[in-house]
Structure 1
Amino acid sequence: MKTVKKLLLILTILSLVVSACKKSIDSGEPGTDPTPIPPNTVTGGLLSFSPNFPSGKEAITFIFDASKGDGGLKNYTGDVYVYTGVITDKSNQAGDWKYNKWDWDQTPPTDVKMKAIGGGKYSLEIKDLNTFYKIPAGETILKLAIIFRNSDGSQTGRNSDGSDIFLPLYKENQLHIRIISPSLEPTFNPSISAVSKVVGEELEVKAISSKPANLSLSLNGKVFQSKDNESTISGTIKLTESGSQLIEAKASSSGENAVANFEFATTGEVEQAEIPSTAKIDGFTRLNNGTSVILTLYAPEKKGIFIIGDFNDWKAQSDYFMKRSPDGKRWWLQIDGLDPQREYAYQFLVDGTLKIADPYAEKILDPDNDTYIPAANYKGNKTYPSGKTTGIVSVFQGKPESYSWGINNFNRPEKNKLVIYELHLRDFLKANNYTTLTDTLSYLKRLGVNALQLMPVNEFEGNSSWGYNPSFYFTPDKFYGSPAMLKKLIDESHKAGMAVILDMVLNHSFGQSPMVQLYFDQGNNRPAANSPWFNAIPTHPYNVGYDFNHESEATKQFTKNVVKFWMQEYKIDGFRFDLSKGFTQKNSGSDVGGWSSYDASRVAIWKDYNKYMKSLDPDNFYVILEHFADDQEEQELSKDGMMLWNNLNASFNEASMGYLPGSNFSRGFYNTHGFQSSENLISYMESHDEERMMYKNLQYGNSAGTYSIKSLATALKRQEMAAAFFFAIPGPKMIWQFGELGYDQSIEENGRTGEKPILWNYKENPDRIKLYQTYAKLIALKKSKAVFNTTNFEYKLDGAIKYIILTGTEETLFIVGNFGVSSQEAKVTLPKTATWYSQLTNEQIALATNNYVKNLAPGEYYIFSDKAK
């Protein structure tokens, strides 16, 4: 008996071990819920679902494979949620989601959290669709609209082309058929699939029907497999022709018929031919008065590329198969017989699977964002080819409307007299378009600025953005207006004496970029190692998006094409290059200090770009770098004529708040950088990237007794004093929008890059108007008086009493102010004895000696010159 009991105990233990092992195996990975895949579910794709033909009247279970599609959640280990709505018989298009389960910015509800079922797969069951989505009576669901995401939405899972996922519903008790192999991604209208084939290869096709029927499979109308009274069919076909192929699966039973199909492209033999001498080697060229175009694409190592578009009903036809240049790097094709007045939408179909817009397109159509562009900003936009293709498409016109420039040879302001006004159109005007900004130039002209710097305006991801997530570099973003509207803004700015500088982002690009998509490692969610333009892994800290490799010849050529386009097509006067220190291949990892140290390769890159821009426009073109590197490196770049950003926000803000230890802004002087001239150092107290000085004044300003910088009137007066010293320092200057009115909303309002309140009502406040008027006077002085460009200066900028003395050939000027919060005696030894005239008031003082001594109240300041106004 003891032996039997012992044996039973051993068997019990073994049974538990086997059960535990089986549970571990079923779950696929430790720590996951081993929820089984529903029986009879067809699996293997991005989205699997059960039942195989859901009608919406029963419970639905669907399974997301995070390794498929765009791979945005591949290797993600946290919770996955379903952001979902529906397409109903009341929807107008793919983007017309209805009855969203929850808002994107909300915390996900518990009933959209998926179960991890192992192997990177997640499942969710919806028991009753109408209840789940709260569908009103009389409205019919056609498709479930889905995006998979993490809790905060920073990572998402979508189709390979970035489009939303759609699960179709089928009418109950009717005959239906589905193609289950090859696995088609669940786009709104599945057409060109993830099938890459060349002539001579075979394709296996499998389909299932909702009930037994007579089934057939055909290629381009020719049946290659059939079965009677079955619910599954499969067959293999050899591909003998290049171009667009149509696979159809048909079912028929008792008078009912059903069809499912998909299209794909088969690549044939590639013709080698030189790009015609009449064409650009990159981009598109108009010929024959706009009735012909030559399209080119830089795409080494690709096997075959079709052009699909309005001119061929979006089919991969052999007549639109591109030729390849003998060096194997570029593809090209001439398209004839075009209507020069018509806009044509098109894409490149690369290797049968990837559809991309033209990187050199001057206009694109975005199915996800264009519908939200206000009509006043962009009128008469071309209709997106819904049902024909997916993803962003490019547009060309054989003979687009030309702009007649009023100013062809603008005389740009001297660098030393530049006063740049940086603005973000979205947050500057409620009607955020170029036309409204054109109408507002009078405000800037009265202020006296002579240069307008626009934050990025070329196409970026989404509509509401700072623009540092660029995707198309030759295309003005339609959210702000049309190309003609932008050209008029530039033209009218020139008429008003203002240069126009564009913020250009060529350190990185984002996933919407066709150049990123052309060579992308889906498994690691980064550019592929063979990308001609991008590093697989960024070489420096603070990189965002995907890092350009500026030692690559392909990147250099692309960069030069971009700057040439804007300089010649839009008559731009200069570029502010974002994150210019990132133009490096010296891998500094996370070492910010190492990244900032002297980099000979980076210097060579920038000298090459600067030389190229000078070759296009040698007349005082502004090349401005957001660099912040070692002084030695910036000295070398400045000697080559480039201008460097100089961030004085911290020291000026400490001074304006009345905190003196960190308030020394002597780095505003070019000699402290080792520069040979002040014209190459662009200083600023605020930029788009800094906390607003007035916000910090009001939140954290110092105080003593009854004097408090947290008081609005006092804080604004402190800004006057800061501005007086700021403009007195020799060299070009930049101000951030509404700094002249004391903008006091935090940069973190609505998120750092989120939309900010537009407060033109500031103009109703007398103290704010006084600040504006002071700015205008200071700017006028800087532009009119040669003494502000002198190389003979002295200063004391530590402590409460600060002063600057400027000595010119014909005039001496000094500024003195008390940045403390209590009265202080000012003592300034001047270079001469004279009668001194206030430059902001009618006050004058006659000094018998060269010593200026005065007790200054906190915030009190003066600008004196030995020349009367």
Structure 2
Amino acid sequence: MKKILFFTCTLLLSLGLSGQQQTGTFTTNPQFFNATQQVTLTVSGVDTSLWGVTDIYLWAWYFDSNLAPAGDSPTNGTWTNSSESQKFTNNGNGTFSYTFTPSVLFADSDIGRIGVLAKAKDGTGDKKTQDHLIDVGTFQITVINPSQPNTIVNSGTLLLVQATSSSTANFKLFANGTQVASQNNTTNFSSNQLINQDTFFELEATSTSNGDVVTKSFNVILTPNPQILPVPAGMEDGINFDPGNPDTVTLVLYAPGKNFVHLIGNFLNNDWRLSNTYLLNKDNSQNRFWITLNNLGAGNQDLLFQYVVDATIRVADPYSTSILDEFNDVFIPSSTFPDLPAYPIGKTNHAVSWLQLDEIPYDWQVINFERPAQEDLVVYELLIRDFISQQSFDGVLTRLNYLKSLGVNAIE
């Protein structure tokens, strides 16, 4: 028994060591660069022995000048077999470097941001670093304080806003759309702001040498104090429509162990900004948060939203029947899914819930369908975009006879 236990522990330990994500530190030389300029990317803090390898490889992707996802490096290779052309050089001092020109690497010059990670040649088992994003352009600004996109303070707090620019610039600071500070011909901006309400800040910097403009934004909200209220009777987890009022929706999120949840989206002039106006109520007895939105009919019939949990985690509603995805939606042709709403690029990230307020319920043509008994199921699992060239449900319909010939009676 002891030998078996020792072997099991050793096996689990070795599996854990050979398949764990690591946190690397990425730097570039030069620090700021254009799409057509050669740059050297260096990563440190990666222990290749944890992955059972000696070499690591670059996996890269990019965004266009509007920060919309634009694609991967054509020479990434595959996740299980990285291309040798993107192998880092081992510098022999615990760092690895890769030199490239963005416009050449991505075969495109319209580049506003690049994403990188380092990985083993076969990245299976999470043998990679975290994602790292790098803005492209010789003129950049860095917000030093606040350091997070969402900051929570008490009312009456004097907040120091600090930023630096890569070259001399004229700065303007806006709070909820009103200019509250400005400083010219400097690379260092600082301003004290008294916070008495939820505030959306925008810091705009204009290069004095070439007129380039860069804007950074961040939210500062007062300490959330959710109302403790029970979930209304009859409401279930997810999206609840009011049958007597199509302009009203109640959202319920199960989130045990969390302190507060906000709602952001394209509804009622929220514009994806964190605000206690849309702080969800809390039901302690059920570990649930909820909110009712009224008068939605006056706005966009495509309601897009996310929950922001504890001011840090952005998630779609887990019960959503449709979501938008910043990376995958660009590959869905209109012939497959017409009138797909645009992802709110630059306003948020991660999956976004999408529901149509004026959607007409589907009229089922077959109302007497009887599914096979569980013990008789023969399930075929498929990914539509890989299964059929049309990458659509209509395309799958053309292959039902083939699936039936295999003895399949259910599709997942």
Shorter-normalised TM range? 0.7 to 0.9
Per-residue deviation at 1:249?
A: 5.3
TM-score (norm 1): 0.38
Quickly say closer, same or farther: Cα 1:114–1:195, change in 2 above 3 A: farther
Q: Find the counterpart in structure 2 of residue 713 from structure 1.
A: none
- Which AA in structure 1 matches 2:114? L
SS at match of 2:82: coil
Per-residue deviation at 1:50?
A: 3.7
Matched, 1:320 2:278: yes
Per-residue deviation at 1:313?
A: 1.7
Q: Find the counterpart in structure 2 of residue 107 from structure 1.
A: 82
Per-residue deviation at 1:236?
A: 5.7
- Contact 1:66 1:157 survives alignment (8 Å): no
Which shifted more, 400-409 or 301-310? 400-409
- Taking the TM superposition and a 5 Å limit, the aligned residue runs for 1:371-450 are 371-373=330-332, 377-410=336-369, 420-426=377-383, 433-438=392-397
Distance (Å, rounded) in 2 between the aligned partners of 1:104 and 1:87: 20
**1:793-825 CA distances to partner (integer Å, 9 max, x unpaired)?**
xxxxxxxxxxxxxxxxxxxxxxxxxxxxxxxxx
SS at match of 1:290: strand
**1:483-530 CA distances to partner (integer Å, 9 max, x unpaired)?**
xxxxxxxxxxxxxxxxxxxxxxxxxxxxxxxxxxxxxxxxxxxxxxxx
Q: Find the counterpart in structure 1 of residue 59 from structure 2.
A: 83
- Contact 1:286 1:398 survives alignment (8 Å): no
- Taking the TM superposition and a 5 Å limit, the aligned residue runs for 1:108-147 are 108-109=83-84, 112-113=87-88, 115=90, 122=95, 124=97, 126=99, 129=102, 133=105, 139=109, 141-147=111-117
Q: Find the counterpart in structure 1 of residue 290 from structure 2.
A: 332
Distance (Å, rounded) in 1 between the aligned partners of 2:210 and 2:380: 67
Quickly say closer, same or farther: Cα 1:286–1:254, change in 2 above 3 A: same
**1:259-313 CA distances to partner (integer Å, 9 max, x unpaired)?**
4312235243222222222422x11110143211001111133233221112122
Per-residue deviation at 1:358?
A: 0.8
What is the RMSD computed on CA atoms of the aligned residues?
A: 4.2
- Which AA in structure 1 matches 2:331? Y
- Taking the TM superposition and a 5 Å limit, the aligned residue runs for 1:155-174 are 155=126, 156-159=128-131, 165-170=132-137
Per-residue deviation at 1:157?
A: 3.4
Which shifted more, 302-311 or 211-220? 211-220
- Which AA in structure 1 matches 2:76? W
Distance (Å, rounded) in 2 between the aligned partners of 1:257 and 1:211: 11
Identity among equivalent positions (%) equals: 23
Distance (Å, rounded) in 2 between the aligned partners of 1:104 and 1:428: 19
Q: Find the counterpart in structure 2 of residue 178 from structure 1.
A: 141
TM-score (norm 2): 0.72
Distance (Å, rounded) in 1 between the aligned partners of 2:187 and 2:144: 15
Per-residue deviation at 1:318?
A: 3.0
- Contact 1:87 1:98 survives alignment (8 Å): no
Indicate which of 136, 159, 165 corresponds to 1:209: 165
Unaligned runs of 5+ in 2: 1-22
Distance (Å, rounded) in 2 between the aligned partners of 1:419 and 1:237: 67
Distance (Å, rounded) in 2 between the aligned partners of 1:318 and 1:434: 41
Structure with greater Cα Rg: 1
Matched, 1:269 2:232: no
Quickly say closer, same or farther: Cα 1:135–1:293, change in 2 above 3 A: closer
Distance (Å, rounded) in 1 between the aligned partners of 2:106 and 2:336: 35
Matched, 1:248 2:203: yes
Quickly say closer, same or farther: Cα 1:441–1:324, change in 2 above 3 A: same
Per-residue deviation at 1:51?
A: 3.1
Distance (Å, rounded) in 1 between the aligned partners of 2:58 and 2:218: 29
- Which AA in structure 2 matches 1:144? I
Q: Find the counterpart in structure 1 of residue 188 from structure 2.
A: 232
Per-residue deviation at 1:323?
A: 1.4
Distance (Å, rounded) in 2 between the aligned partners of 1:76 and 1:298: 36
Matched, 1:283 2:253: no
Quickly say closer, same or farther: Cα 1:125–1:429, change in 2 above 3 A: closer
Quickly say closer, same or farther: Cα 1:382–1:213, change in 2 above 3 A: closer
Quickly say closer, same or farther: Cα 1:308–1:407, change in 2 above 3 A: same
Indicate which of 39, 43, 49 corresponds to 1:60: 39
Quickly say closer, same or farther: Cα 1:122–1:199, change in 2 above 3 A: farther
Quickly say closer, same or farther: Cα 1:216–1:80, change in 2 above 3 A: farther
- Taking the TM superposition and a 5 Å limit, the aligned residue runs for 1:472-511 are none
Per-residue deviation at 1:385?
A: 1.9
Quickly say closer, same or farther: Cα 1:66–1:235, change in 2 above 3 A: farther
Which of the pair has the greater relative contact order for Cα pairs under 8 Å at 6+ separation? 2
- Contact 1:83 1:112 survives alignment (8 Å): no
Per-residue deviation at 1:329?
A: 1.7
Quickly say closer, same or farther: Cα 1:194–1:122, change in 2 above 3 A: farther
Per-residue deviation at 1:123?
A: 5.0
- Contact 1:179 1:205 survives alignment (8 Å): no
- Taking the TM superposition and a 5 Å limit, the aligned residue runs for 1:350-361 are 350-361=309-320
Higher helix share: 1
- Contact 1:81 1:151 survives alignment (8 Å): yes
Per-residue deviation at 1:390?
A: 1.3
Quickly say closer, same or farther: Cα 1:56–1:361, change in 2 above 3 A: closer
Distance (Å, rounded) in 1 between the aligned partners of 2:402 and 2:75: 46
Distance (Å, rounded) in 2 between the aligned partners of 1:100 and 1:439: 32
- Contact 1:62 1:124 survives alignment (8 Å): yes
- Which AA in structure 1 matches 2:84? P
Unaligned runs of 5+ in 1: 1-43, 68-72, 160-164, 185-192, 456-869
Distance (Å, rounded) in 2 between the aligned partners of 1:182 and 1:204: 7
Higher strand share: 2
